[in-house]
Structure 1
Amino acid sequence: MGGDNQNKEPLLKNRYYKNCPGCDVDRAKQLNQASPFKHLLNIWMLTMCTTLPISCIFPFIYFMVRDFGIAETEADIGSYAGYVGSAFMVGRGLTSVIWGIVADRYGRKYTILFGTISLIVFNTLFGLCTSFWMAVTTRFLLGGLNGSLGIIMAYSTEILPEEHQAKGLATYSSAWGIALVIGPALGGYLAQPVEKYPHIFLKGSFFDKFPYFLPCFVISAFALAVLVACIWLPETLHKHNVSDESNKDAEALENEIKEKTVQKDENLLLNWPLMSSIIVYGVFSLRDITYAEVFSLWAVSPLELGGLNFTTDDIGDVLSISGLALLLYQIFLYPPLEKACGTINLARIAAASIIPLLQSYPFIAMLSGFTLHLVITIASAIMLCIPAIIDTCLFLLQNRAVEQHQRGAANGITMTTMSLFKAGGPALGGMVLSWSQKRLNASFLPGTHLVFFILNLVQALGVLMMFKPFLAERKEQ
């Protein structure tokens, strides 16, 4: 495979088709006409836009489900909240491969445009939900009709020169991580505005009837701005016309046809460097989403149930500071650390370091006042930075394991696997948290000790899978 790439490289560098957007991008990269900053900004905005609806519900979903009146006891609220969170991932898991195939056939840009439009519609509708089943249905459609996230990952490697690809994927993963912070911050600050800002939002107003609409509306408005910006988004997919191919010399055309035939016969499911990195990513995704769900529910739970008794504003404060820490880390600390340790080794070290931190959370709950807020903020910042390291490493391995004509489908498989793992995360986290709060006096792993121990089991499995012989890299000859 590596030898084929070397034989094909001169053709890709020196021969371009007219009216082919992919060739225009390749030519700009070769001539250093592409602006890395501009493309990194596009990647950042697209990833933020797509990720914000996933995480904005975490601070208020507990109260939203409580207002639905479907839970019989307070301890059951976590379980129903988990079902709402899982609906999004189930929808995305069922359709990600399809969207990847569509992007490989019709282009990255139009798939992203459609996904952004569906995000605007269904994220806005979610803020208007008045029943549990309406919320579940809206979140399912929001996940199923927006296949942009995997496409953006492929786009990140295609729009930038090879020397900037790691930077593009780091931008993708850091934007993902920061959106997982800004989203809950928006949800925490803007949910129930009548109660928090009575001098601005009046009792009996629209926002009193729909107390969780404002954060959804703000995110949808941002998505609308991103949609307009997408009009000028460069397409990276190669679209060669038959008339253009006739201009080639016969030998070059014959060789390229043979190469494309070999490429089309490649079964992605048998590509172990691709599949091993996807499986590892799925395991860490399960831990990430379960932690995000558990953290928010645990933080707002009463003290007598082992929680922190935080308000949505408190969660917003913690996660906002954590997001700023991630941004500073990605700019100043990640590049020298990655250079010193290497991408894979840094990811392994980071993944292992989470284990003792997670198990300390029940003890952090014993603190109070300023000390509690300081320690939990530091822990939250670390828990945000480390997944960004792991994701950047795995994204790089995945996108280097396939050629462009299969990259959309490959990232669709990645999103499907991640979504399937994450679909069970919120429900699992909610049920385990509810169960743990009913066994506060157990002799083994009482209360929330059980929740974080189970999270650590998943984390430890992911760490073991990051080593050979499981995790494989594509070999270049």
Structure 2
Amino acid sequence: MASHSADDDSVQPFFLPCFLSSVITLCSLICAIFFLEETLPSKVAAMHQQKLLGDDTPGYGTNIAPLKIKTADADMKEARVPSAIELLSIPQVQLAIIVGFFLSFICTAWETVFILFAYTPISFGGLQRTPAQIGTLLSATGLLGIFVSLFGFPMLARRIGTRSLYRVCMSLWVAVFVFFPMTGVVAQWTLVGEEGGSALLGPIWIGVALILGTGRLASMAFPANMITVKEAAPNQQSLGAMFGLSQSFACIARASSPAFVSSLFAFSVNSQILGGQIVWLVMLGIAISGFHFSRRL
């Protein structure tokens, strides 16, 4: 029985992580359906009116004249919801979406290229780590991200302000893509000819800690981005459209980034132009551009 289970795992090695991800997604969907409050103005107005009317059975002394109730629809007419084109014509909205696009593109590229970088042989500029080691590193980084989001972001946002923290986080991405080639060079200096031996791994792990730790700190830009998008909205009624636009551009970034950075990494390794460092130069330029736009917020 145990051998049969092991055989199944070898045939479908990705079933368990995919199954767990699906279960978590399903739980999130169920919670959203049954526990989140409705925000659609027409439905909110209908529910509000129904609560005010209550039992409509007339009794002694009941005034059966039509009851005029000011609903949320009336409030909506006072503040018109701008169209997507109108929102995109507002400079602050443009900046918030542009910086959010850079943030999603850079963070997704960081997550993708680190795995490639860590698995690539040292002779080609990588770290030559095993899948188990890479998985452990990513898990540790995820735990660090939880701690940073729960405790680091609220404290720093109160102390230096959301926009200032946003700029600092975007600047950290520049450092991340400087640490990548530095760590690769250190790996070549210390482990050439040792086939990934453990004699001088200390400097390698320091470089890995800088790459992952700094990247996770830079990810505090995501909650700052949400706050910035909210503040850029011209009125309360346009929040839904604002977040929809922001997420649409962010999804484009997340979809295109892995293909872009992985292809660029493969080209760098195969061509060995500039010692195989082209991928880091390009990503460094993108990170600097993102930081430049964040300074204009």
TM-score range, shorter chain: 0.7 to 0.9
What residue number does 1:223 align with? 25
> Cα offset for 1:349?
2.0
What residue number does 1:464 align with? 292
What residue number does 2:108 align with? 289
What is the letter of the counterpart of residue 397 of structure 1?
Answer: T
> Cα offset for 1:387?
2.2
386, 396, 416: which one pairs with 2:227?
396
What residue number does 2:81 align with? 263
What residue number does 1:379 align with? 211
Q: Taking structure 2 as the reference length, what is the TM-score of the superposition? A: 0.77
Matches within 5 A, 1:113-132: none
What residue number does 1:446 align with? 275
398, 409, 420: which one pairs with 2:241?
409
> Cα offset for 1:257?
6.0
For residues 340 and 397 of structure 1, the distance between their equivalents in structure 2, rounded to whole angstroms, comes to: 17
For residues 427 and 265 of structure 1, the distance between their equivalents in structure 2, rounded to whole angstroms, comes to: 32
What is the letter of the counterpart of residue 279 of structure 1?
Answer: I
> Cα offset for 1:464?
0.9
Residues 254 and 462 of structure 1, relative CA distance in 2, 3 Å threshold? closer
What residue number does 2:63 align with? none
What residue number does 2:98 align with? 279
- Structure 1 gaps, min length 5: 1-197, 472-477
- Whether the 8 Å contact between 1:286 and 1:422 is mirrored in structure 2 is yes
Residues 233 and 404 of structure 1, relative CA distance in 2, 3 Å threshold? farther
Residues 370 and 317 of structure 1, relative CA distance in 2, 3 Å threshold? farther
Residues 219 and 335 of structure 1, relative CA distance in 2, 3 Å threshold? same
> Cα offset for 1:460?
0.6
- Whether the 8 Å contact between 1:343 and 1:393 is mirrored in structure 2 is yes
> Cα offset for 1:328?
2.3
Residues 414 and 255 of structure 1, relative CA distance in 2, 3 Å threshold? closer
What is the letter of the counterpart of residue 463 of structure 1?
Answer: F
Q: Does 1:241 align with 2:60?
A: no
> Cα offset for 1:270?
2.4
- Whether the 8 Å contact between 2:182 and 2:207 is mirrored in structure 1 is no
> Cα offset for 1:315?
1.1
**What is the count of residue pairs matched by the alignment?**
263
- Structure 2 gaps, min length 5: 51-65, 188-199
Residues 213 and 394 of structure 1, relative CA distance in 2, 3 Å threshold? same
For residues 235 and 11 of structure 2, the distance between their equivalents in structure 1, rounded to whole angstroms, comes to: 51
Q: Does 1:346 align with 2:177?
A: no
Q: Taking structure 1 as the reference length, what is the TM-score of the superposition? A: 0.50
3-state SS in 1 of match to 2:270: coil
- Whether the 8 Å contact between 2:172 and 2:215 is mirrored in structure 1 is no
Q: Greater CA deviation, 414-423 or 264-273?
A: 264-273
Residues 253 and 396 of structure 1, relative CA distance in 2, 3 Å threshold? closer
> Cα offset for 1:229?
3.4
3-state SS in 1 of match to 2:37: coil
Matches within 5 A, 1:207-218: 207-218=9-20
CA RMSD of aligned residues (A): 3.0
For residues 101 and 238 of structure 2, the distance between their equivalents in structure 1, rounded to whole angstroms, comes to: 20
Q: Does 1:298 align with 2:129?
A: no
- Whether the 8 Å contact between 1:319 and 1:377 is mirrored in structure 2 is no
What residue number does 2:177 align with? 358
What residue number does 1:424 align with? 256
Residues 225 and 284 of structure 1, relative CA distance in 2, 3 Å threshold? closer
> Cα offset for 1:405?
4.0
> Cα offset for 1:463?
0.9
Residues 258 and 459 of structure 1, relative CA distance in 2, 3 Å threshold? same
For residues 154 and 127 of structure 2, the distance between their equivalents in structure 1, rounded to whole angstroms, comes to: 35
What is the letter of the counterpart of residue 451 of structure 1?
Answer: V
For residues 254 and 352 of structure 1, the distance between their equivalents in structure 2, rounded to whole angstroms, comes to: 44
